[in-house]
Amino acid sequence: MIKLEIREGYEILDISGATTKNIIIERPDDTIITASGSFVTDGTDGLLYYRTVTGDISLAGLYNAQAYLVLPDFTGYSTPVSFTAYANIPLDNN
């Protein structure tokens, strides 16, 4: 799951009025996934999440994620965040 907290400066942004709430994921091979985000509660807490599905985080390496929001008084992107996915540890089949 990818969870983002949307802020304006140091203040949490109320995103409850968002008509578009996408989460964009850039994979290590530079491919892009755009998925619909969901509010964690009702959006007043600035929290948005996307539950990843099989294949979204299948490559080891650095990923970037950010929100794209359309609100009554703002349309644009959140600050991107990065995370690393590591390769599975091979099982010893001896």
Is 2-85 a CATH 2.60.40.1220 domain?
yes
Largest CA distance in the chain: 61
Q: Higher pLDDT residue, 86 or 74?
A: 86
Percent of the chain with pLDDT over 90: 89
Residue 86 has pLDDT above 80, yes or no: yes
Stretch 65-85: mean pLDDT: 95
For residue 62, what are the CA distances in angstroms to 44, 46, 77, 82? 30, 25, 20, 7
Summarised one tens digit per residue, pLDDT across range 30-74 is 999 999 999 999 999 999 999 999 999 999 999 999 999 999 998
Dist. CA 21–CA 35, nearest whole Å:
9
pTM tops 0.85: yes
Domain residue ranges of the chain, discontinuous segments joined by +: 2-85
